Amino acid sequence: MRHIALSLVSVLALTAPAFASGTPATPPAAPAAAPAAPAPAGTTATANPGISPDIGKLVDVATIPALQNIVVAGTQLRYIGDEHGLKAYFVSNAGQAQILYITPDGQASLVGAMFSGDGTPVSVMQLARLRQTGFDPVPYLNNNVNPSPVAAATGATAGTTPPVTAGATAAPAVAAPTMSAGEQLLAETKTASWIAFGESAGREVTVFMDPNCDHCHNLFKALQPYVAANKIYLRVIPVVVIGENSRTDNINILSAADPQAVWTAKINGQPVPVPNPVNPQAEVSVARNTTLFTRWQLPVAPYTVYRTNAGEVKVVSGTPTDFNAFLTDLGITP
């Protein structure tokens, strides 16, 4: 399983499957509006008894020596936690944002994502904690295409490439305009959490699947002979389409010691066991995957993204209408 980077949104129920194949992907629409105005200084949007009351509070930039000559005027800091000796702040200005970490002496700052030694994405958990206060950081992170809140001193600009995460390949959150929509979508799937089946030497096929979707079950089973023959390297990205049961199942599957075995058992009609303990990172992974699915407005699950034998990226919405033609497109003899 690959861990992932920095945005969380609520999951949505989508429409029932329609069937098509070989169609181009449509790039996600630009954000409809800038983030809502922040809460007054020293407050959080909503109190949450499960987290520290300090989380989400606005902090006066003047109280942090390391930031005096760095942040842009008008920048706001929200405290999001103190892990591994570094105080963390969500730093926002004019709809843009970054995460800043302050050293224990208060004299220096770091920009970026924090990971613990076991690969836990600490920054992701801090953002999830901030979101529990009622303040949503996602619109700020999705809008990071203009000069960042810390650009004044360095001349740097906030990029659109998410941080490198444990075991994952860095890929742009929004690919360069010269890329096709299919290339953009394929690149963004590399930032998701997926369950891998087969050998990486096979032709890579990426499929967004809901564990309770019958059409997903059918496609997964149809692909298995080619996975077993090392002709297809299948990346299943678990998403929530059908409802809360799917969310719970996905979290439990990604928490399992052997996600591949539990996913396969689920597809074959067995219930998903509740692991002990449930991995708290799994909930973040499921939310991130479903965010990717909904932001691209993918119409159904399963939704397949693959590179043809000729090098073109294509997508299949629903189950391929001609499975043999789909295999041929991959360069695989049916």
pLDDT per position as a tens digit, 247-294: 999 999 999 999 999 999 999 999 999 998 889 889 999 999 998 888
Band of pLDDT at residue 104, cut at 50, 70 and 90: very high
3-state class of 187 per DSSP? Answer: helix
Helical ranges in 242-322 per DSSP H: 244-255, 259-267, 280-295
Q: What is the mean pLDDT of the chain?
A: 75
pLDDT at 215 over 90: yes
Of 205, 227, 223, nearest to 215 by C-alpha is 223
pLDDT at residue 121, as a whole number = 65
Q: Poorest-confidence range of 145-159, 184-198, 232-246? A: 145-159
Give the separation between CA 306 and CA 73, rounded to whole angstroms.
45
DSSP secondary structure of 169-232? ----SS--TTS-HHHHHHHHHTTS--EEES-TTSEEEEEEE-TT-HHHHHHHHHHHHHHHTTSE
* Per-residue buried b or exposed e for 110-135, using 16+ beta carbons within 10 Å of the residue's own CB: ebebbbeeeebbbbbbbbbbbbebeb
3-state class of 214 per DSSP? Answer: helix
pLDDT at residue 154, as a whole number = 31
- The DSSP call for residue 61 is G
Torsion of CA 208, 130, 32, 11, to 10 degrees: 30
pLDDT at 145 over 60: no
Of 14, 27, 52, 7, nearest to 215 by C-alpha is 14
Of 109, 47, 49, nearest to 75 by C-alpha is 109
pLDDT at 20 over 80: no
- Token pair in block for residue 67: 């930031």
Burial status of residue 326 (CB atoms within 10 A of its CB: 0-12, 13-18, 19 or more):
buried
pLDDT at residue 134, as a whole number = 85
Tokens 């109280």: give the residue: 63
Q: What is the mean pLDDT of residues 288-305?
A: 88
Reported pTM: 0.53
pLDDT at 153 over 60: no
- The DSSP call for residue 310 is T
Give the separation between CA 144 and CA 152, rounded to whole angstroms.
15
Mapping DSSP onto H, E and C, the string for 17-32 reads CCCCCCECCCCCCCCC
- Token pair in block for residue 117: 């030694």
- Residues 234 and 197 sit within 8 Å (Cβ to Cβ): yes
pLDDT at residue 24, as a whole number = 52
- Token pair in block for residue 118: 């076991």
pLDDT at residue 94, as a whole number = 75
Q: What is the mean pLDDT of residues 134-163?
A: 46
- The DSSP call for residue 54 is T
Band of pLDDT at residue 22, cut at 50, 70 and 90: low
Give the separation between CA 333 and CA 60, rounded to whole angstroms.
64
Band of pLDDT at residue 184, cut at 50, 70 and 90: confident
Of 241, 172, 169, 160, nearest to 204 by C-alpha is 169
pLDDT at 162 over 70: no
Q: Poorest-confidence range of 15-24, 84-93, 123-132, 274-283? A: 15-24
- The DSSP call for residue 247 is H
pLDDT at 332 over 90: yes
pLDDT at 224 over 90: yes
Range from 111-125, 135-149, 176-190 that averages highest in pLDDT: 176-190
